[in-house]
DNA sequence: TGACATATATCTAATTCGCATCTTAGTTAT
DNA sequence: ATAACTAAGATGCGAATTAGATATATGTCA
């Protein structure tokens, strides 16, 4: 049977469907390391483990809208960088029922990240430790950002460790050919701050003059004329992202 | 509440859910141009327009498995390069009901592409014309590969033009840092064939010595020792992809 | 044997990249 | 006031990579 014939004869409620959710990786830079917002599960399944914020996709909302709704509801944040990551559909992802989840990556400036953390009591910040270099990929580990002394990794619920790893992979891969890094900075920022973000995401130190040159030669940055305040040394020029990035 | 009790009390059907499908972009190189397999719709909605092969995701199959099933059923192909592209969830994608579709990109060697075309009567090959250069993105147009004389573009059903454009974008973007191009070639191939594939996908001519060097320096290729047959000039070395790509 | 078409090697210009150094603009201490 | 200090920002140069063009080698066929 061809696709169209099948669809035409299809009774919308004749067959069971997988449930559809969105899961959000809310990332930022915390203490010079990549970090994500997690919430501790209090109920079955996977009670006491850490999960990404998520929710079901409504019948009358797009996937992007569902992701934004979860973002508002769980973290009180509106309008950050938000992009679809990947769709996870393993059969046993969730023991309750068949759930297919569309994972999203949201990038927050450090201030918005802290604000979300303070605003929502159930959210916790987790440092994401990335043991692999470059863009090859692999598993990542999450550690509590509250007490860096406890070096025991957080136990993640469902397949959320995989989602977190993919988020880091995407972030690293897009970092230096797209403007994705700017989403982790405030509207006005110095070149040093931009370099700090890149170094935190990549996990390696970068050469300062080379980094400056590359960034300025891209033509994405516009100097504001204003300068950084509150330093005890020469204040740095503040830049903003040029309008048609 | 114990996990068992929780699971027992959980009603999986409490809320309405969008339907979930997979749509496949079956791509190859045809007459030195990127091409895709389409099927003509015979019924409403979008009758007489061209659509990507697709199907519903069963309750007991993963997304990848659903894509492979559609690939076998519609094109009689097994085991090509298959990767998830993006998930499309606009509200009005399909006028019949809310359908969320996970798009997949399948890459076929030219021989397998032609074989699928001959094996399935309802499938047609379409040349994908890409008006934008580089990796910026934008809309693409499909033309019939049967009669290249008729230069009127094929009208695509649903949001399948968007899916097709994204497939090209992904293919172009991954072409020269991943081994994705090899999926469009037979097991043994010459460097000239590899370059032809890259030129067809990118839509620009490439410098031969530079291309050779880059490919060989990657370390992904292993010479087979055998040589191309049937040429009226010097036969080229046949290469294969090194095992752990 | 020679013409032909392409593979393969060589050479050179251009670009990028990393590193070291120097200058500049502020604050802070004397 | 002045000197010391710190990090920003600019400059210069060699190494390394890359791209383009050209030349040579190789195998087939007339």
Contact list in A for residue B94 (CB cut-off 8 A) is: 7
Distance CA A110, CA A31 (A): 9
- Which ranges in chain B are annotated with CATH 1.10.10.10? 183-241
The listed CATH number (3.20.20.70, 3.30.470.30, 3.40.50.300, 1.10.10.10) that belongs to domain A179-241: 1.10.10.10
The CATH class that applies to domain B183-241 reads mainly alpha
Min Cα–Cα distance to chain B from A130, Å: 22
Q: Is the full-model pTM beyond 0.85?
A: yes
Contact A8 B44 (CB under 8 A): yes
Contact A2 B97 (CB under 8 A): no
Interface of A with B (CB under 8 A): 2-8, 10, 12, 15-20, 43-45, 47, 56-57, 59-64, 84, 86-87, 89-91, 95-98, 100, 102
Convert the pLDDT of each residue in A161-183 to its tens digit.
Answer: 999 999 999 999 999 899 999 99
Q: Is residue A10's pLDDT more than 60? A: no
Q: Is residue B148's pLDDT more than 80? A: no
- Which ranges in chain B are annotated with CATH 3.90.79.10? 19-175
DSSP result, chain A = --HHHHHHT--TTTS---EEEEEEEEEEEETTEEEEEEEE--SSSSTTSEE--EEEPPTTS-HHHHHHHHHHHHH---S-EEEEEEEE--TTSSSSS-EEEEEEEEE--HHHHHHHHHH-TTEEEEEEE--S-TT-----EEEESS-TT--PPPPBPTTHHHHHHHHHHHHHHHHTTSGGGGGGS-SSB-HHHHHHHHHHHHTS---HHHHHHHHHHHT-EEEEEEE--S-SSPPPEEEEE-S--
Distance, CA of A212 to C1' of D11, in Å: 13
Which H or E run contains B174?
A: helix B160-175
Q: Is residue A7's pLDDT more than 60? A: no
Convert the pLDDT of each residue in B110-139 to its tens digit.
Answer: 999 999 999 988 999 999 999 998 888 899
Cis peptide before B45 (omega within 30 of 0): yes
**Length in residues, chain B:** 245
The 3-state DSSP class for residue B186 equals coil
Convert the pLDDT of each residue in A173-221 to its tens digit.
Answer: 999 899 999 999 999 999 999 999 999 999 999 999 999 999 999 999 9
Contact B41 A5 (CB under 8 A): no
Rounded (5°) CA angle A90-A92-A94: 105
- Which ranges in chain A are annotated with CATH 1.10.10.10? 179-241
The bases of strand D with some atom under 7 A from any protein CB are 5-12, 18-22, 25-29
Using the C1' atom of nucleotide C24, identify the protein residue whose alpha carbon is closest. Answer: A234
With cut-offs at 50, 70 and 90, classify the pLDDT of residue A2.
Answer: very low
| CB of B166 closer than 8 Å to CB of B219 | no
The CATH class that applies to domain B19-175 reads alpha beta
């Amino acid at each position: 049977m061809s696709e169209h014939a099948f669809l035409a004869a299809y009774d919308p409620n004749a067959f069971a469907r997988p449930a559809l959710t969105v899961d959000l990786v809310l990332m930022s830079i915390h203490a010079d390391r990549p970090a994500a917002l997690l919430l501790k599960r209090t109920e079955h399944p996977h009670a006491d483990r850490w999960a990404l914020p998520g929710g079901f996709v409504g019948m009358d909302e797009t996937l992007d809208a569902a992701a934004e709704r979860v973002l508002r509801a769980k973290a009180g944040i509106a309008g950050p960088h938000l992009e679809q990551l990947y769709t996870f559909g393993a059969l046993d992802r969730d023991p309750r029922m068949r759930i297919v989840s569309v994972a999203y990556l949201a990038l927050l400036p450090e201030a918005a990240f802290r604000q979300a953390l303070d605003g929502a009591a159930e959210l916790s910040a987790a440092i994401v430790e990335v043991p692999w270099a470059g863009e090859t990929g692999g598993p990542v580990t999450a550690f509590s950002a509250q007490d860096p002394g406890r070096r025991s990794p957080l136990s993640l619920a469902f397949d959320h460790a995989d989602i977190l790893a993919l988020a880091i992979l995407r972030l690293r891969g897009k970092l230096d050919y797209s403007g994705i890094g700017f989403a982790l900075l405030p509207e006005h920022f110095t070149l040093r701050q931009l370099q700090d973000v890149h170094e935190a995401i990549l996990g390696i130190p970068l050469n300062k003059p080379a980094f400056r040159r590359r960034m300025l030669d891209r033509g994405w940055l516009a100097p504001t004329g204003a300068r950084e305040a509150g330093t005890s040394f020469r204040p740095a020029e503040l830049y903003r992202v040029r309008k048609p990035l």
